[in-house]
Structure 1
């Protein structure tokens, strides 16, 4: 069988004219059917109920830009008509047409094929009754077609598909659905769909949207994207209802400004509050990325004292070069109750501060430098936090010889406060540290000695504070740990058991610090890890005098794949001297005993606990316990309890239950309930039901929770409740994916997997 090659870059017409009839004929172009329905919208990964198509293969029939026609039998009539019969295959590297028979007329420049016609390419597969190609007009026609998208859920019918170089693609009397055959919960029917050559958009005429066989929506004309490029248009609306906003309808409108810049406008109408506009602008460059959000309500119909309500947010991350990076986060809102009344995608009603941060970092092997401006927007009647304008930090590895290392940590910060009578300060801190680290595969030892010198220049002071305060402290730290292991048996399984003791001696000299204000300092909480910090405060305004030793031990059970099945950790600090720094004073020569337990009881059951027991009263000071039963991603039951004996004079005693369970194959139920045991009342109730099928999904959620609103004086009320209903609906294959992504995450507390074991 001899193959004759046509000249390069010939059109399909000239290729046919140049070719002689052989069992195999090569020419340069075959019209390729493009991806023709609006499937280029982003679709999340999801279960595909349509039988997946096999990846496209051309079986090596064509190489390069050539096209091959093969058949079991060929007959040439009067050197004008070539008739191919039996397993006819017309292919190039991008597409393949299979048929039982094909006929080529050299004089009329026409090709026709019939009998089990199937067109395939990497994007689509089409079954047709017959194919006709007019070579003079470069026009390809397929009649009575069935198509299915390859790699995406989508299929349909078309009475006729016509392709031409001049007009592109036209589909007549076409339907589309992502539902499987025989279970069309929804489908779209259009009289015609047209795709012009080179256009990013297709057009549809007389489009009807059906649920089952009932028409529910009609559009005489609309346009849709036909490429993988993002396109402007409408996104799915969001519908909800609660006693703060009333019935809420939000309609996102997407604007693809540039390939690296887009924007979303989301008008939101609330029956109780009026019309709100939400906008989101995103940008991306090779070195920078960021987002800007603005929400604006011109006139709140519910509260006549609030003429304008707004929230804005700006975030940015970027690199100036391989060493320099920049970042920013800036948030602000109009009033204390904005988040409680209107909601937020970034904060919840329990938050008390919004961040405002601008920063720049430099990082190399021996040097780290950061310059940061930090501010806060305080929500409610909370003391204003100090802002640092700026905060400069420098860490420099000045010397290294053998195991010895000399590192210098330094900081310059200026602190200011919105309160008129609050002091302000400039803080200069330098701390050279000499360390001797030693590590092996089973042990670690570290010896450190530091000198901490801090200067404060304070303004607007009163009482014991000094305009110039200076403090110099010496610090010594000795730390050691080991990791021992042995083979063991655990419930009949061969495992590895570890024993990991650790100790730390920490000494810090004393100096009176009452002449220094508190600018960025709060007390830290000690857990099994925290007892080895050696410092009891954040920031530098208070450095407690210490002469103490911390002891801890952890034991783990590792299975044959080195996965943790069990972990028990204990730790406690022993004080040799009483603290003289007042803020760090204690009533005992020992800290509370800190313990943690994480246990994968079985493949279904896990228990996780953290607890701190006072060594003086032998009472539980803090605890967090979670028990979870899990059969799968959407089959779980979680019981958790949180207890704090004293936090700002209040006791926290909360019990929570979270459950998620399938009702049937398509229906799932999620519930959550939290109760304040001290006040004997619920804090949140949450019930959600969800339907998820191959081609559509919906969620219906009811929620009741404490409102946490602020009054005119900024005091927060915890006695009133808010309740509401949220509804979400999505048609899959039309720009949306699985609808269950956030059902467990929604609500005040949300779902968290309560484990610390390594997976």
Structure 2
């Protein structure tokens, strides 16, 4: 009985069939041939021939068999389907998993709604055909319905066709869901720890809770346990990290070594937020010796903060505690315990704005020979802001009223009670000009943006006030218009000065910024009377900034401050980037500071990332201190990445920055280390040669430029 492909010969609750030809015997047997398609609850079957025995409730197919459902696609020589139980059997198969990357061969595949998928005499890989860099062979693999893990028994692992590992039992993920199990390990070696092996274990506790346990075995130091716990709700999220080493064989300390970190962010209501960060460690050299994912060897403080925030259209409020864990022999920093801020803003008609900033804080540093203080600061401001498309003008006046109540040690030159009243006036104006120009054959828009600021601040003697959160600021071009010489409020310098700045930009036809050049300087109309801000010159250093997209591949960024007294460079940094693609880049950089805490910084460095071939990728970084004529960090990493696995190798040498028994940091000792990591691609692991650039002390700094 010839049929059209659309004709349905058998149709009931279990299956429907269409074929080019069918023969039916007394509604008991049905034979089909020619482009047979069988649709059932189990899936779709395609074959050249099929036989349905309705009395025995059996279906058999042969010839170019293909089976597919929502989990697997299989080609086979022979197939049988039990219509009563819904069990499907395929022989001599090749399969492709559909829920995740994975394929292979199997002597027999059994598929059932009740038991899932069972593969016998099976191989498995995530590599494409003909490029099986790695392969798993097992006596059986089972994928139970609804489970996110597959199970393999009597498993042999092959790399490049060579057996390297046997496991009687092995489980692997079969979905993109978070799931409990082993993560990929890291193998490393360094002067600090010897040979290290870290094996993370991920625990999917609940949809909004998880944890990672990572035992780390170090040949020179012992066994360390690293833990991470994360939680998430509609209004709150946070993370707790704890690291613990009970007995460090290389340390002179008798006590256990540990590090902990807790971070929380929460939304209490639409207007109220809360956040916290708490860090702590057992000793000064913990980060230097054992490393950290959150801090580096150059850090001197660990943050301890608790903050409550309120936001509205006109009123903002914050209450916070700011504390520190000091690393090494550094002066004790003052803690703000607590610090309350209240800021109010309101428009007075169409022209005038009123702003009221206030702060109440208590400072102490734990040293009984140092003063502590409670400070109240009130700063009402009345301003006239005028803005339009071609410029802006702002005139404002501020009253700065600060009260101190200081607890003083004996023989202190400070005063217990201080009231300081200062007035500040500010005039600021900026104008934007544009013109069309032709540059190198391209039509460009050039802008010219001059701006000026006159600032006057009255003087009051402040030598009877301690310095609790105040230090000298370093000026760049933006800082010239800041109107402050110090951080914090303990020192407010008198001023009678004019700041002049000029910026020019080049924009292409798409309004994309190709170049930005800024120059600025402060002109002083009188000497500062504040002893903390004495100066001899009548103008500030000349500050300049340049951002230049030379071409689609070349970028330049530079900042420089040039002394107005002797025309010497006070501070500068320069970076030149060549970026052919995301993984093809070279960066040359230089930074210089003539005097920072009595030291000179003069460093040059190069960072690069470059593919050597389709599979091989190299990254490197090198920094040299020109003042001491020595290399301070060298880093190289190489990655081999095939279609289905990746191997990363990293080697580096760097300043150790260890602290001695007195807390003094050494600047002459170096350490070296290597690390190795292997990743199966397609098993949820993520690898990136670009990420290697972020390792080490300096890391890769993306060009801060324009439309990036």
- TM-score interval (norm. to shorter): over 0.9
Between stretches 560-569 and 151-160, larger displacement belongs to: 151-160
Partner of 1:481: 430
- Deviation track 1:557-605 (CA, whole Å, cap 9, x = no partner) reads 1111211111111111111121112222222111101001111112222
Write the mapping of 1:397-436 to structure 2, written as runs, cut at 5 A: 397-436=345-384
Partner of 1:160: 108
1:23 corresponds to 2:29: no
Higher relative contact order (CA 8 A, sep 6+): 1
1:456 corresponds to 2:404: yes
Partner of 1:296: 244
Distance in 2 (alpha carbons) for counterparts of 1:595 and 1:694: 48
Partner of 2:295: 347
| DSSP 3-state at the match of 2:461 | coil
Q: Quick one: structure 1 residues 225 and 634, their matched pair in 2 at CA, closer, same or farther if it must change by over 3 Å?
A: closer
- Does the aligned pair in 2 maintain the 1:485–1:497 contact within 8 Å? yes
Partner of 1:16: none
- Deviation track 1:655-710 (CA, whole Å, cap 9, x = no partner) reads 11122222222112222111111111111111222211111111212111111111
| DSSP 3-state at the match of 1:743 | helix
- What is the deviation of 1:183? 1.2
Write the mapping of 1:238-277 to structure 2, written as runs, cut at 5 A: 238-277=186-225
1:137 corresponds to 2:85: yes
Q: Quick one: structure 1 residues 600 and 24, their matched pair in 2 at CA, closer, same or farther if it must change by over 3 Å?
A: farther
Partner of 1:756: 705
- Does the aligned pair in 1 maintain the 2:42–2:86 contact within 8 Å? no
- What is the deviation of 1:470? 0.8
Match of 1:316 among 264, 274, 284: 264
- Does the aligned pair in 2 maintain the 1:551–1:573 contact within 8 Å? yes
- Does the aligned pair in 1 maintain the 2:583–2:690 contact within 8 Å? no
- Does the aligned pair in 1 maintain the 2:609–2:690 contact within 8 Å? no
Match of 2:94 among 126, 130, 146: 146
Gaps of 5+ in 2: 1-5
- Does the aligned pair in 2 maintain the 1:94–1:122 contact within 8 Å? no
1:206 corresponds to 2:132: no
Write the mapping of 1:82-101 to structure 2, written as runs, cut at 5 A: 82-91=30-39, 95-101=43-49
1:648 corresponds to 2:602: no
Match of 1:709 among 631, 642, 658: 658
Partner of 1:728: 677
Write the mapping of 1:151-190 to structure 2, written as runs, cut at 5 A: 152-190=100-138
Distance in 1 (alpha carbons) for counterparts of 2:368 and 2:330: 15
Distance in 2 (alpha carbons) for counterparts of 1:501 and 1:657: 35
Match of 1:512 among 461, 485, 508: 461
Distance in 1 (alpha carbons) for counterparts of 2:698 and 2:128: 37
- Does the aligned pair in 2 maintain the 1:692–1:739 contact within 8 Å? no
Partner of 1:718: 667
Partner of 1:610: 559
Distance in 1 (alpha carbons) for counterparts of 2:391 and 2:274: 38
Distance in 2 (alpha carbons) for counterparts of 1:629 and 1:573: 35
- What is the deviation of 1:482? 2.1
- What is the deviation of 1:644? 0.5
Q: Quick one: structure 1 residues 503 and 105, their matched pair in 2 at CA, closer, same or farther if it must change by over 3 Å?
A: same
- Does the aligned pair in 2 maintain the 1:697–1:739 contact within 8 Å? no
- Does the aligned pair in 1 maintain the 2:8–2:16 contact within 8 Å? no
1:678 corresponds to 2:663: no
Q: Quick one: structure 1 residues 137 and 94, their matched pair in 2 at CA, closer, same or farther if it must change by over 3 Å?
A: closer
- What is the deviation of 1:616? 1.0
Q: Quick one: structure 1 residues 290 and 545, their matched pair in 2 at CA, closer, same or farther if it must change by over 3 Å?
A: same
Between stretches 542-551 and 660-669, larger displacement belongs to: 660-669
- Does the aligned pair in 2 maintain the 1:592–1:612 contact within 8 Å? yes
- What is the deviation of 1:381? 1.1
Distance in 2 (alpha carbons) for counterparts of 1:452 and 1:570: 30
1:331 corresponds to 2:279: yes
* TM-score, normalisation: structure 1: 0.89
| DSSP 3-state at the match of 1:531 | helix
- Does the aligned pair in 1 maintain the 2:9–2:18 contact within 8 Å? yes
- What is the deviation of 1:752? 1.1
Distance in 1 (alpha carbons) for counterparts of 2:698 and 2:564: 32
Distance in 2 (alpha carbons) for counterparts of 1:443 and 1:685: 48
Match of 2:470 among 521, 529, 535: 521
Between stretches 628-637 and 175-184, larger displacement belongs to: 628-637
Between stretches 430-439 and 67-76, larger displacement belongs to: 67-76
Gaps of 5+ in 1: 1-20, 30-66
Match of 1:215 among 160, 163, 169: 163
Pairwise CA RMSD: 2.1
Q: Quick one: structure 1 residues 605 and 165, their matched pair in 2 at CA, closer, same or farther if it must change by over 3 Å?
A: closer
Distance in 2 (alpha carbons) for counterparts of 1:483 and 1:693: 53
- Does the aligned pair in 2 maintain the 1:730–1:739 contact within 8 Å? no
- What is the deviation of 1:124? 3.8
Distance in 1 (alpha carbons) for counterparts of 2:476 and 2:81: 77
- What is the deviation of 1:115? 2.5
Q: Quick one: structure 1 residues 117 and 439, their matched pair in 2 at CA, closer, same or farther if it must change by over 3 Å?
A: farther
Between stretches 297-306 and 447-456, larger displacement belongs to: 297-306
Partner of 1:372: 320
1:191 corresponds to 2:139: yes
- What is the deviation of 1:160? 1.5
- What is the deviation of 1:89? 2.8
Q: Quick one: structure 1 residues 132 and 456, their matched pair in 2 at CA, closer, same or farther if it must change by over 3 Å?
A: same
